[in-house]
Amino acid sequence: MSENPLTQLGSTLTAIEQMPLRIQIADMLRRAIVSGNLRPGSLLVETALAAQMNVSRAPIREAIQILENDGLIESIAYKGKRVKPLTQREIEETYSLRVVFEVMAARRILEMNKPVDALWIHCRAMATAADNNDRDALTTADEAFHRTLIGLADHDLMLTSWNSLYLRIHQIMALRNVAQLNLAEIAGNHPPIVHALENGDVDKVINLISKHTRSIADLDAAKIAEMNL
């Protein structure tokens, strides 16, 4: 008798995890918010969302509560829930903290002489997205570049702090890319950082990262804040 092929697979087969509906809905709404498709200030109507997603209102309500805990949604008296608007101060504080994280990450990468090949993958993805005028793909690759930079620093606490900041960073980046028409310019800001890291030029790396992350003045925080509905 031939052996059961499933037996041959042994421990390579694992149980399929069934994600609760509220988590699936929360993930969908979170992606819509941080991608800029659900703009800051957008009202979230449970009945409309339930009808659109073909589910009951209960998991919608639970998903919205999850995102409220994330700080992405807030309650408005007599109106219900809405995507939390971005203020100019919040944008500026987010980017100023991002400077601190990324400069620290760059210093650690150079001190440990870590290879930075992985950063080129995201540079190429950004260049392709810019060529294709694909804002969503550029935002995804842009965020991946900076997340990889933080990851290469091999600092768990900093990575945890970055992850808590990530939702707002991604949302701001998505809105910035809508406001800033020159996608090629956005993509072109990143290769010089990688070159400086490869050359071990700490001063140039810090200058480039600081200039890049502080380009908040160029992208106009007030204008992005005004994009709230």
Q: What is the CB neighbour count within 10 angstroms for residue 31?
A: 12
Query: pTM score, two decimals?
Result: 0.73
Structural domain spans, the chain: 18-83, 88-225
Q: Per residue in 27-39, pLDDT tens?
A: 999 988 888 888 8
What was the pLDDT predicted at 204? 95
Low-confidence ranges of the chain (pLDDT < 50): 6, 217
Whether 3 and 43 have beta carbons less than 8 Å apart is answered as: no
3-state secondary structure (DSSP) of residue 78 = coil
What is the model's pLDDT at position 224? 65
pLDDT in tens, 141-188: 988 999 999 999 999 999 999 988 888 888 887 776 666 568 898 899
Q: The CATH number of 18-83 is which of 3.90.600.10, 1.10.10.10, 1.10.10.1800, 3.90.226.10?
A: 1.10.10.10
* Residue in 132, 86, 103, 123 with CA at minimum distance from that of residue 229: 86
Class of domain 88-225 as given by CATH: mainly alpha
**How confident is the model at residue 217, as a pLDDT?**
47
